[in-house]
Amino acid sequence: MPIYKRCSRCGQRIPSGSTCLCAKSRHKEYDRYSRDNRSKQYYSGKVWELTRASTLEEDGGIDVYLFMTEGRIELADTVHHIIPLRDNWSIRNDITNLMSLNHDTHSMIEQMYRKDKNGTQRILQDMLSEYRAGRGGQKSF
Each residue's pLDDT tens digit, 15-48? 888 888 887 777 777 777 777 888 889 999 999 9
Residues 73 and 23 in one domain: no
Looking at the 3D structure of the chain, how many domains does it have? 2
Residue 129 is assigned to a structural domain of this protein: yes
**Residue 70 has what pLDDT?**
95
Residue 39 is assigned to a structural domain of this protein: no
d(CA 118, CA 41) in angstroms, rounded, equals 27
Residue 42 is assigned to a structural domain of this protein: no
Residues 51 and 115 in one domain: yes
pTM: 0.74
Residue 141 is assigned to a structural domain of this protein: no
Residues 14 and 57 in one domain: no
**Residue 47 has what pLDDT?**
97
Residue 10 is assigned to a structural domain of this protein: yes
Q: Are 58 and 138 in contact (CB under 8 A)?
A: yes
Residue 58 is assigned to a structural domain of this protein: yes
Q: Which residues of the chain have pLDDT under 70?
A: 136-141
Q: What is residue 102's DSSP assignment?
A: -
Q: Are 9 and 22 in contact (CB under 8 A)?
A: yes
Range of the domain at 12: 1-34
Residues 51 and 28 in one domain: no
Residues 67 and 25 in one domain: no
